[in-house]
Amino acid sequence: MTEQPAPSPPASTPPLHTVESLFQHVPHPRIAERRQERPVVVDDARVGFNGRVGLLITTVVGTMWAAYVFTVLALISLPAAISSHNIIIMISWVAQTFLQLVLLPIIIVGQNIQGAVSDKRAIQTYKDAEAILNECMQLQAHLQAQDKVLDGIIAHSKAHQALHQGPQAG
């Protein structure tokens, strides 16, 4: 029997990396910024005296109870409009007394303030989505770093297995 020399180790064993050496997580600045903020609420949109008054009126008047009170107040002058038997006066009562003077300005002020709050919320949502995107990109980089480590482990394992198996008889 002839002795076969022991196989020599591979010329270079791939170095084993740690995930920390390949990947460093850097949180998005928006995450820290967001911790300092609270969600935008309607009261945040009270800008100046007129804004506060408009929002106060919208808050008080923007209920069904206020709608009932305004209806009663408007109905006080309805009998006079009807008793005039003048279609123009009756139409004027509906258009000017009920709609224009009572509801329309209040609804517009409330919608403007709600729109401003909605805009603020949309900007925050955009920034949050940007932060989430950044975090996802970092997760992807983390996974790629883990892939490199796994590749190194697999290569090392294969080299170790080949070293211990020796040449296969054929």
Model confidence pLDDT, tens digit, residues 78-131 = 999 999 999 999 999 998 888 876 776 677 777 778 888 888 888 888 889 889
Measured between alpha carbons, how far is 13 from 162 in angstroms, rounded to an integer?
12
| Gap between the Cα atoms of 50 and 40, Å rounded | 20
SS3 62: coil
Q: Is the pLDDT of residue 62 over 80?
A: no
Q: Give the SS3 label for residue 154.
A: helix
Mean pLDDT of the chain: 79
Q: How many CA atoms lie within 13 A of 91 on its CB side?
A: 3
Indicate if the pLDDT at residue 134 is higher than 60.
yes
Confidence of residue 6 (pLDDT cuts 50, 70, 90): low
Instruction: Report the interhelical angle of 64-83 vs 48-61 (nearest 10°).
Output: 80
The greatest distance separating any two alpha carbons of the chain, rounded to the nearest whole angstrom, comes to 130
Q: Based on the number of CB atoms within 10 Å of its own CB, is 125 exposed (0-12), middle (13-18) or buried (19 or more)?
A: exposed
Q: What pLDDT was estimated at residue 18? A: 62
Higher pLDDT, 66 or 163: 163
pTM of the model: 0.50
pLDDT at 151: 86
Q: How far apart are CA 38 and CA 78, in angstroms?
A: 48
Contacts of 115 (CB under 8 A, 6+ apart): none
Which residue in 98, 96, 100, 95 sits closest to 70, CA to CA?
98
Closest CA to 97 of 82, 75, 79: 75
Residue with tokens 């709600």: 114
HSE, side-chain direction, 13 A CA sphere, residue 114: 9
> For residue 65, is pLDDT > 90?
no
Residue type, 40: V
